[in-house]
Structure 1
Amino acid sequence: MGSNTDRSPHYGALQDVVDGLFADTCVEAVRRLDVVIAAEAADLPADLSEVISLLPPGTYTRLRLCDQINSSIGGHAWGQVYGTVE
């Protein structure tokens, strides 16, 4: 990858993981383990797997999960490369 502003082919991959976890409108929260399994199933690149591995144990609403993921992405300055989640 050239720089931290070049879009990765994996841009939006974390959004797909989040959308999949909350696809059922009845789901109000997910466990960290659910997120890790979904990320592994998505075959994410190492950088994005690292973002997921940094999640602290616990239960996450969509908003809390997005905040945690976006915080990690921002901390690595990867927003332009991989995108943020909502």
Structure 2
Amino acid sequence: MDISFDFRSEDYGELQHLVDALFAPGVSRYATVTKLDVLMRAEAFDLCADLAEVIDLLPSSTFTRTQLCDQMNSILSGHGWGGVYGTVE
């Protein structure tokens, strides 16, 4: 008997949209954003409470896209939310 709990929230993929908005296509892979940049953009996206918590848990730092995604994915994984909200790249 295979029991699978593959629940996706209606907010699935919202963090990916946020990352894509912060790092527009064609922007250098060395471009950076600060936590404040992420917080301000997240406010505009009106994220659900769980995803707002992911943003709040980011360290105060400057991030390349790769670094930001690694941090977010680590937080999502630590909460067991990767399957519910999706991971970012």
Task: Give me the TM-score of the superposition, normalised by structure 1.
Answer: 0.91
Aligned-residue identity in percent: 58
Matched, 1:67 2:70: yes
- The structure number with the bigger radius of gyration is 2
| Backbone CA RMSD of aligned residues | 1.4
* Per-residue CA distance 1:49-73 (angstroms, 9 max, x = gap): 0000001111000000000000000
Q: Distance in 1 between matches of 2:82 and 2:34?
A: 24
Q: Distance in 1 between matches of 2:37 and 2:82?
A: 23
Q: Distance in 2 between matches of 1:80 and 1:59?
A: 27
Aligned equivalent of 1:84: 87
CA offset at residue 5 of structure 1? 3.5
Aligned equivalent of 1:23: 24
- Structure 2: gaps of 5 or more residues: none
Task: Give me the TM-score of the superposition, normalised by structure 2.
Answer: 0.88
Aligned equivalent of 1:39: 42
Aligned equivalent of 2:14: 13
- Structure 1: gaps of 5 or more residues: none
Q: How many residues align?
A: 83
Structure 1: which 4+ aligned runs deviate by more than 2 Å?
Answer: none
